[in-house]
Amino acid sequence: VSNGQLRVRTEKTERVTLIFRNFTASSSTSAPIYLVSADKCVIELADGSVNRLTDAKTYVFSDPTETKPNACLYAGCDLKIKGKGSLIVEGNYNNGIGCKNDLEISNGQITVSAPNNILKGNNSVTVTGGKLVLSGGEDAIKSDEEIKEYILISEDAVIDITCSDDALQAPKSVTVEATARLTVSCGNLVNCPGVYNIADGTVTMK
C-alpha cells in the first residue's frame, strides 16, 4: 500500500489473522493500518520477512468529532503480534501501536517510534517474547483504561526503551518477570499507583 489504508471491519464475534510477508504500507492522511472491529486480530510476521508501516504527521478525519485511529497501527479490538519476521512502525502523528483493548506481543523483531505513546493497550499490554526497540515517545509502554490497567513483561522478552517520560505506565499493576531483559533510558522507569514488581537484574539503565 504505497499511500492508503488497510482497513478491517468484521463482526465483533469474529477473529481475523493478517499475515505480513514483506508488507509495506504508508499513508499521507491517516494510519496505514486501521483494524476497526473484530473480536481479536492477530498479525503474523512471516519468517524472515521485513515489514514497515509509516503514518501521516497530521490525520484527516471525515468527521471532525472522530478521534480514532490515533496510532500508526491501530486496533479497535484485541491485538496480538507474533511471528519470526520483523515489523518497523514509524509513528509520526501520535502513538506507534495502539489498541482499544488488550495488546499482546509474543515474538518477532519489533521496532517502533512515535511522538506520544510508543505502545499503548488501553486495557493491558503483555509482552512474552521477541526483541523490541521502542524510541522517541513521551511514554514507552502504557495502559490506562479503567478495566484491567496492567503491564506484564515475561518469559524471554528483550526490550530496548528510549523515551522522555515513563518507560512503563499503568494504574493497577506493572510486572517484569526475572527472565525478561530491559535496557532503558527514560525520565521515570515506572509510573504505577497500584502494585509493581520489577525482578532484580531485569533492568539496565543506559
* Summary mean pLDDT of the chain: 96
In single-letter form, the type of residue at position 176 comes to V
- Cα 183 to Cα 174: distance, rounded to the nearest angstrom: 16
Report yes or no on whether pTM surpasses 0.95. yes
Please state the rounded mean pLDDT for residues 102-128.
Answer: 98
Q: Which cell goes with 182? A: 530491559
- What is the average pLDDT across 16-39? 97
Q: What is the pLDDT of residues 127-167, one digit of tens each?
A: 999 999 999 989 999 999 777 999 999 999 999 999 999 99
DSSP β-bridge partners for residue 204: 183
Query: What integer is the mean pLDDT of 51-66?
Result: 95
Using the 8-state DSSP alphabet, how is residue 13 labeled? T
143 burial class (0-12, 13-18, 19+ CB within 10 angstroms)? buried
| pLDDT tens column, 62-95 | 898 999 999 999 999 999 999 999 999 999 999 9
Distance in angstroms (rounded) separating the CA atoms of residues 85 and 50: 6
